[in-house]
Structure formats: structure tokens, C-alpha cells
Amino acid sequence: MKRTAVNLGCGLKALDGWINVDGSVNAWFANHSWIATLLRPLIGNGWRVWPKGIVRMKLERGLPFATNSIDLIYTSHFIEHLTRHEARTLLKDALRVLKPGGTIRIVVPDLEGAARLYLKSLDSGDAKAAEEFLERTSLYSDSRASFTNLRAWKSFWFDYQRHFWMYDSDSMKHCLSEIGFENVCDCDGQKSEKIADIEQVERAEAVGSDGRGLAVEAQKPQ
């Protein structure tokens, strides 16, 4: 039986055989290039690198899939761009749409790894330790979005450039368990007993102990 797999927040990595979903307005413009061309003075050319065929959804509002209809949900470096409440809403809906026994795999930046690296740099006397920590975790903004700066406004509201909540392994696993998932476990990068094509969908650099990312898998109860 053919697997139904969804990649939430796929970005530019849109694979055949997956339902590729992203909330970026550039995903929509890539599918409507004539409109993007007309609006180019306002929106720039960022949409041109996006593959066509990505389904644009505002994922913080939930998932438009039927209950018990999805075998696999994968999401990498996206959940942190949602507020804590939005992320829980999305994960609750992910539990709803997964088939019994279905798998979810989540990759997020590793707050613990980033914090340990910050403290190590701080102890070594690195004056830029705080600056590097904030850049590594994207817990900052170089400018304020305003209606007089249309590109900044677009980036802030539509392209998920900012991190609104961060996770370590324990907090991510606790969140999934609390929502109702089971068999929640840590995973190495590009390693999975449930996802045969994990090396295709997951970037090699997505997971790393230096704060780059951690991977957690869980299942919907049978």
C-alpha cells in the first residue's frame, strides 16, 4: 500500500512522493509566477528559487487532512518558528491526522547544545559569546517590521525568519508525550527505523550537538 507522507515546512526541499507543505508566501508566488513578476518591485526575487508544486498552508492554524489519513509526518527546523501555543495546536492536529501507529519525526534547533556552546565560549573569554549564541538561536531581529518597510513586514509575517520558542530534547519529548504520542525517543541525524528514505528528506547538517539540531520521533497509539 502506498505511503502517505507529509513534509511540514519543507522549504526548498520538495521531494517526489511527499505532500510538501510550507507557510512561506514565496511558495505561493512560485506557483503564481505571473503575479510575483508584477509585484517584483515590492517582493523581490526570492520566490524564484522555490520549487513549484509546494502546497502553501498557514500551519499554525492546523492541518487540512482527514482524521487517521496520514502515515508519516516529517518536519525539520520549522516548529521553532511557531509560538509555543501554535506549536502545540499543530502537534495536536498532527496526532489527529496520523493513522494509528503512524510516525512523526521532528527536528528542531537544540537549545541545550547551543547553551552549552555559549557557556564554553564564555568561559574561554570569548567576548562575542553572547552575540554568537543569539545568532545561532535566531533569538534576535536586526530591524523592526513596519508598514513603511514592506520587505521587512513581509519577512516578519510570512516567511518565518524568527524563532518564537526553543526546545531541548527533554522539553520536546515531554511536549509530544503530553499531547498523546507514544514511543517518543531521540534519534541520530539521518537515522530512523521508521523512515526508510530519511537520508533523502533530512539534510545531513540538520542535526548536531553544537546546537544545530536534535531529532525526535514518536508514534500515534494503535
Span 5-110+163-219: which CATH code? 3.40.50.150
Query: How far is the C-alpha of 77 from the C-alpha of 201, rounded, in Å?
Result: 12
Q: Distances from the Cα of 67 to the Cαs of 59, 71, 208, in angstroms?
A: 16, 11, 34
The owner of cell 510570512 is: 158
What is the pTM for the complete model shown? 0.88
Contact 6, 18 (CB under 8 A): yes
Contact 181/219 with Cβ under 8 angstroms? yes
Reading the chain (222 residues) residue by residue, the pLDDT tens digits are: 789 999 999 998 999 999 999 988 888 787 678 787 787 777 677 767 688 889 988 888 889 999 999 999 999 999 999 999 999 999 999 999 999 999 999 999 999 999 999 999 999 999 999 999 998 898 877 766 555 555 555 555 555 677 899 999 999 999 999 999 999 999 999 999 999 999 999 999 999 988 899 999 999 999
